[in-house]
Amino acid sequence: MPIPTPTARAGHRTGNFADTSPTDRPAAPPSSIDLPPDTSDPHDPHDPPPEGITRYRTIWLSDIHLGTQGCQAEYLLDFLRHHESDYLYLVGDIIDGWHLRRGWHWPQAHNDVVQKMLRRARKGTQVIYVPGNHDEAARQFCGLAFGDIAVRDETFHTTLSGKRLWVTHGDLFDGVIQHAKWLAYLGDSLYTLTLLLNRWFNRVRTRFGFPYWSLSQYLKHQVKNAVNFISAFEQVMADEARRRGCDGVVCGHIHKPEIREIDGLLYCNDGDWVESLSALVETTEGELRIIHWTQKRNARPPVKAAPVSV
């Protein structure tokens, strides 16, 4: 069955949204929701010494899928312990509501990720959360703040080089999600089966001393329909960024980290923490980079299955 191509969401609002860049900071949210206090030590004893931490101006993370067995929370915690930033964007699918409705899965590492982000916000990092399709329930709280984390339907960021980037998860421009959600749920089940194979494959790799490598991501990128879908999605996102008067877009959703130019627009995808284990960063000099954390770290936390879909 051919995959429907991504489409712009009819009637999607394009009003003026707060720009979270330092040149035009947003006004305070109209109200906030207080979270229970964090009773843990404000200093994480597992954090590296200051000389072991790399500081970036901005970090973008998406598709973490907390609440699933596939979430590579240990890798993400390791990444967060070694990187700090002035701005942290959570670009959707942070918590996987689809899978939490089927069954509860919330190990300590997932809670540690949440506490880590809350701690960052309390210590002065500007944290902006843009919900996606797996955590779409959070969209009803857009304009509010949870523990100093601002929730936005979409937002904008201006880089040091002056590029204005539109920040959105991307599911609102996915024809499958918008017009055939049943197909998205079916794909989710098939994806779960594929990623079950991924777990056993990586257990064998780990036993022989090899690092984590995503079999599921490799297979996905070899399927012609999937490749065509990704290309169409990237084009739609670039076109929408142009329509908003931006120089580029930062999104997630398709689990494929990328930085490239499309018809003069900058397309950036920050990847995921299920397959690619990647993040998009802006250096203190204003350069945009993709970081693949498994290529940077020798430590190999336990490999988990990844029953999630985009």
Q: Is the pLDDT of residue 215 over 80?
A: no
- The contacts of residue 300 (CB under 8 Å, 6+ apart) are 206, 211, 212
Number of residues in the chain: 310
- Residue with more model confidence, 254 or 34: 254
Predicted local distance difference test score (pLDDT) of residue 163: 97
pLDDT band at residue 32, thresholds of 50, 70 and 90? low
* Mean pLDDT along residues 22-28: 45
Q: Tell me: the pLDDT tens digits for 86-96? A: 999 999 999 99
Predicted local distance difference test score (pLDDT) of residue 194: 63
Distance between CA atoms of residues 199 and 212, nearest Å: 10
Half-sphere exposure of 125 (CA within 13 A, CB side): 26
Q: Tell me: the pLDDT tens digits for 123-141? A: 999 999 999 999 999 999 9
Distance between CA atoms of residues 254 and 46, nearest Å: 32
pLDDT band at residue 63, thresholds of 50, 70 and 90? very high
Kindly report the average pLDDT of the chain as a whole number.
79
Q: Is the pLDDT of residue 117 over 80?
A: yes
- Residue with more model confidence, 297 or 160: 160
> How many C-beta atoms surround the C-beta of residue 297 within 10 A?
15
Distance between CA atoms of residues 21 and 158, nearest Å: 5
Task: Dump strand ranges (E) for 69-182.
Answer: 83-90, 126-129, 145-146, 149-151, 155-158, 164-167
- Residue with more model confidence, 151 or 310: 151
